[in-house]
Structures are given as C-alpha cells and as structure tokens.
Amino acid sequence: MSDDHVYLSLAEGHDDSDARWAFGTGFEDPLHGVDQSVPEGTDTAQLAAYCLALGDDALVSAQRLAQWCTAAPELEEEVALANIGLDLLGQTRLLYARAGQVDGTGRGEDAYAYFRDADAFRNVRLAELPNGDFAFSITRLLVLSSWRLALFERLAVTTSDPVLAAIAAKGVKELAYHRQYAAEWAVRLGDGTEESQRRMRDALAAVAPYVDELFAETGELKAEVLAVLRQVTDAAGLAWPETAPVPGHGRDGDHTEHLVPLLTELQSVARAHPEATW
Amino acid sequence: MVTTLLDARRARHIAAQVPDPEMPMLTLADLGVLRDVEVREDGTVVASLTPTYSGCPAMAEMRAEVAARLTDAGYARVEIRTVLTPPWSSDWITPAGRAKLAESGIAPPGAAPRGPVELTLSPTRRTVACPRCGATDTEETSRFAATSCKALWRCRACREPFEYVKEI
C-alpha cells in the first residue's frame, strides 16, 4: 500500500470488479441485493418514469451544488453544500437503479445520467437555473428541499412500491438537514444587512415563478410547503412574493436554456470516453 | 444444523470485525451498519448491510471488504445484500461504538428525532459535551463536516474543535 500517495494507494490492489471511485470504474449497483420485485398491478412505465423524474431533480441539483466548490463564501459552507449535493447524488443513484429495474431495460445509473440528452430529462426547471449569488442558491435550496421533504414523507407511506418507499424514507432524514440549513441561512440573510436583505428579496422574486410547477402532480402538498416557506420568510422579515408562474413544466421536457450547458459539462468525460475504465 | 449455527456465528464474527472505512475506530457492527449474517444450507454466507446516508461513498468499500474477509476465511460463496428499510439511525451505534468515538475525540450522537420533521427556527439548545475536556460549553460551527454523518463543533472551554456524529 502506497500510504504516502493517496491516489496511488487507491489504484492498488483492486481488480476490475472492485474499482469504485468514479465513472467507468464499475460502480456497483446501489440496489445490489435488494428485492427487485414489483408489486402486482403496478403501472411499471409510470413508476419508472416517476423514479427517473425524482432522480433527475436530484442529479441536476447535485450538479449545481457541486459548482459552489471553491466559490462559496466560507469553507464551512462549501463543505455543507457539497455534502447536501452528495446526499442528493446518493438518492439519484438509488432512484435511477430502481427505474432501470422497473422499466425492464436493466439500464444502469450511468446510462441515465450520462447518455440521455436534455430533452429526455424530466427535472423541474427550478433545479437547473444557474446558481446566481449565494442568496439565490439558498432560496432555491430552501424551496426544493421543503418540497422534496414533504413529497418524500408522503411517498414513504403512500407508494405501493416498497423500494421507492424505502428510498423516500431514507431521504426524509437527509432532506430535513438540508431544509434546516437553507432555512437558517435564509433567516440570517433576510434579517441581516441591507445588502443581504436586498439579495434575499431578489432571490425570492426570481425563485417564486418556478414554484407552481413543483405542485403540478401533487397539488395537495402546496399548502403544507408554502406554510413552511412563509414560516421562514416571516422569521426573516421578508414576504413571500405573489408572482405569476412561468408557463411550462420540466416534467413535460420543457427546459430553460440552462440545462444543456449543465449536462454538457456533467456528461463530457463519459461521452468522450464511453467505454473507459480506470 | 449445529455446524451451520457455529458457522453462522463465525461468519458473523468475521463480518462484524470489518472497520468502517471513514471512521476506522468503529467496526461495521459498532456502527449498526451490519444488519444480519446468515449461512444458507448450501453454505452461502449472506451478509446484509445498510447505508448510513444515501450518498455514503464508503458503502462500496464496506461491501468489498466484508466479501473479501469472508472469502479469505474460507467461505466459497458470499453474497452481500443491501438493506434500505428500516433506514439507518444513529441510535444503532452501539454503546461500545459510542465509547470508541469519544475516545477518538468524536462526540457520539444523542437520541435521534422521531415522528414528523418540524422546522425550528428559534435557537435550539443542545448539550454536546466536549469529547476532550468534558465541558458542555460548546457550539456548532457547521452542521456538515468531512463525512455526511458528522457535524463540526468547538469547545469554548478548551478551545478545541471537534466532530460530532449527527442524529438521524
């Protein structure tokens, strides 16, 4: 073991089946050994599409969070944003793996993440908008984590698919930390200086038009999530803006012009070297 | 039958000794990640692991290490299963595991929250004792740290920073 050189030591002593560090290294199936059966009477196409959409939300969000690395205001925030992204990436892997089992294609996570084009992605558009300033990223994270937390709490007890229910139940614990982090920052910025409050107001105005889209399939969650968002804006001395929604839905494959560049970067290495292992 | 029981005990012991890749002072059993080890009639060892966090990058390493040690111990057929439900809770860290964390300067978690997740915006007072000097005059510096399962704290009494395993 080359303990003095971390990268060399990673490469040592692992045969092909054992490599695990990045794309193309034969990452194991994250659902390895989980009972794959699908309950009788399930609409498998619908279940697969739903897993994929929830996975897309998480993957695109994780990519945006990763872009804060080396750019966050403090090291602690960089670590926090990267950790939140890592949780979401883990959720993505589980959801993609489930989609591949259910849709009958047996596709692995890499096929969904790296070899679909933007028009096949079904993430909500709020996830793909550029990071903007810290206030925008925090506001977006607050909205997305509040929504996803409510959704996963519901899914954990209502979906008939035991694998999706388990993924959701696990996600709830993680999302509670994400929401708490974003909410505390939103209050600190909103209740901070004139400059930080102005930035929070701008961020709310920019995020609000994309919030309606989140409830296209799950209208019953809207009141619950908006109550949480208002709890935060009240504590921050801000008002939740009433703005007209931007027409269209990411779930229908409508995307902003920002998704293609995001995916181009995310997919560039995998597409340049499609069979690569290392 | 007796052989199978003894065999299962031995297999469990081997799997239980595997160290966590990110907190090597803990074994997988201490961490509560090893959920079950059984030996089937055909001699296959089935070890069940549960991830701490969905994105825990150590999961693949844990699986590989458990499989390798069981194989080295002479089990020809080894199967590693992932268990997602019930989801891992920090409550599953054993008393021995908690003691080892504290000895290594990492504060062990308190009781995990249960029930619906509420958002609290008023400052919450949580008492975390400094694992170095024992003082309770401590504060959180970041809820996220070097691994998903830990937060960063510091002790106001001895001024040392320390890590704290989060409750989930």
Mind listing the pLDDT tens digit for each residue in B34-75?
999 999 989 899 999 999 988 887 888 889 899 999 999 999
Which of these, A17, A18, A141, A62, lies nearest to B55 by C-alpha position?
A62
- 3-state DSSP call for residue B47? strand
Tens of pLDDT along A183-203?
Answer: 999 999 999 999 999 999 999
Are B121 and A177 a contacting pair at CB < 8 A?
Answer: no
Tens of pLDDT along A256-265?
Answer: 999 999 999 9
For residue B113, what are its two tokens?
A: 């929250």
Which CATH superfamily is B2-88 part of?
Fe-S cluster assembly (FSCA) (3.30.300.130)
- Name the pairing type of β-strands B161-165 and B106-107: parallel
Work out the pLDDT band at A151, boundaries 50, 70, 90: very high
Tens of pLDDT along B122-163?
Answer: 766 678 999 999 999 999 988 888 888 899 999 999 999 999
User: Average pLDDT of B97-118?
Assistant: 90
Hey, what's the torsion of the CAs at B128, B132, B137, B143, to 10 degrees? -50
Tracing tokens 């096949």 back to the chain, one arrives at A120
Work out the pLDDT band at A123, boundaries 50, 70, 90: very high
- Name which of A86, A98, A145, A154 to mutate to probe chain B: the one with the most chain B Cβ atoms within 10 A of its Cβ: A86
- Cα separation, B91 vs B99, in Å, equals 14
The residue ranges of every structural domain in chain B are 2-88, 92-112+123-165
Are A94 and B54 a contacting pair at CB < 8 A?
Answer: yes
For residue A117, what are its two tokens?
A: 């084009």
**Dihedral-angle region of residue B111 (phi above 0 means left; psi in -120 to 50 means alpha; beta otherwise):** beta
CATH number of A43-242+251-272: 1.20.1260.10
Sheet holding B161-165, edge to edge: B106-107, B161-165, B150-155, B138-142
- Name which of B119, B149, B165 to mutate to probe chain A: the one with the most chain A Cβ atoms within 10 A of its Cβ: B119
Number of neighbouring beta carbons within 10 Å of residue A68: 19
Are A33 and B79 a contacting pair at CB < 8 A?
Answer: yes
Tens of pLDDT along A221-247?
Answer: 999 999 999 999 999 999 999 899 999
Contact of A273 with A25, CB cutoff 8 Å: no
Are A169 and B87 a contacting pair at CB < 8 A?
Answer: yes
Are B54 and A167 a contacting pair at CB < 8 A?
Answer: yes
Contact of B117 with B123, CB cutoff 8 Å: no
- Cα separation, B30 vs B50, in Å, equals 13
% of chain A beyond a pLDDT of 90? 77
- Cα separation, B86 vs B17, in Å, equals 23
Which of these, A207, A210, A229, A228, lies nearest to A131 by C-alpha position?
A207
Lowest mean pLDDT among A48-52, A213-217, B5-9: B5-9
Identify all chain B residues contacting A82, using CB atoms and an 8 Å cutoff: 144
Mean of pLDDT over chain B: 90
User: Measured at the alpha carbon of residue B14, what is the angle toward residues B8 and B16, in degrees to the nearest 5?
Assistant: 95
